[in-house]
Amino acid sequence: MSSEAWRQERFNALANAYGTDLYRYALWMCANDALAKDLVQETWLRAWKALDRLNSDAAGKSWLITILRREFARTFERKVPKFADVNTIEVREDSQSEPDDRVEIQLLRRNIQKLPPRYREPLLLQVVMGYSCDEIAQQLAISKSAVMTQLFRAREQLIQRLQQDGVTGNV
């Protein structure tokens, strides 16, 4: 197999494995469908250009998330985009949920978006991307204990916000 064919196969494997996760994470970060799609496209473009620098396919997910996070940061360096209200964005869930569940999901999304970024980002990395505390620490370049503290505080703030909205239960 030629090196170009191998490169294309490697890239396709990454895209198939992590494309949905990247989009979902981007949407949670920016709460804007169009911007999330743009971020993912820019991530794929940068990943293609730097594919030779990916040392291990096992590190592909973290590598792509790092690129996506940097692209999101670059968005604010260039210009401040207009964001849609998170309540107007409909993200299709894998399974059809009941109307009461949809209301709770919307409340949860709205309240997660209100969290300060230092708490929101580790929470999204854990809940949306399924990262462990060690992986989050590596991704954010902070200690594991800082991640655990930020996750604890994020959950506490989220619980308080949800209780103010009249939602009870576990977060």
Q: 133-157 pLDDT, tens per residue?
A: 999 999 899 999 999 999 999 999 9
Among residues 35, 39, 32, 27, the alpha carbon closest in space to that of 84 is found at: 32
Contact between 160 and 154 (Cβ < 8 Å): no
The pLDDT of residue 98: 60
The answer as to CATH 1.10.10.10 being correct for domain 97-164 is: yes
Are the CB atoms for 123 and 112 separated by under 8 Å?
yes
- Whether this model's pTM surpasses 0.75: no
Q: Cβ neighbours of residue 119 under 8 Å, at least 6 residues apart?
A: 150, 151, 153, 154, 157
Rounded alpha-carbon distances, angstroms, from residue 48 to 45, 68, 156: 5, 13, 40
> Which CATH class, in words, describes the domain spanning 3-78?
mainly alpha
Domain locations in the chain as residue ranges: 3-78, 97-164
